[in-house]
Structures are given as structure tokens and as C-alpha cells.
Amino acid sequence: MENKEHKQEFLFGKINYKILLIGIGVIILGFLLMSGGGSDDPNVFSDAIFSFRRIRLAPTTVLIGFGITIYAILKNPNKA
């Protein structure tokens, strides 16, 4: 009987995992930008929820993060 060593291979390359972690970080940043803006008193309406940061910047950041993550999944690590 031959004693063959089976080398464990990861599904993605090292660069794919780095890009994936960057994408997840950008998504988390977008959700942090989206949080807050509420009023302490439930009887008082706060216009802070309609700020540029929560309406435009945060969702755009989340979508960019998803784009980075999809790129990391689809990138072929064997191509130069």
C-alpha cells in the first residue's frame, strides 16, 4: 500500500480572502453609518434620520461592500 499524503487546499486563494474581508468591513461600515438618528422622546420627531449620511452615503457604502465581496468570490486566484 502506498502512503499518500493528501494536502488540504482552500477553495480560494489568499488574495481572495483578503478582498473578502475588506468587502465585509465596508459592509459593516455602511451599517454603522446607517445607525442612529432616533429621538430620545417618542413624542418628538427627529429629522436626523433623513440626513445625507443615512439616506445616500450608508446604502451606497453597503452596495459597494457587496460588490467587493462578489468580486472576491468570482476572482480566479490562478490567473496572474
> Is a pLDDT exceeding 80 seen at residue 7?
no
> Distance between CA 56 and CA 50 in Å, rounded?
9
> Is a pLDDT exceeding 90 seen at residue 73?
yes
pLDDT in tens, 35-47: 987 777 888 887 8
Q: Is the pTM of this model over 0.85?
A: no
User: What is residue 48's predicted lDDT score, i.e. its pLDDT?
Assistant: 81
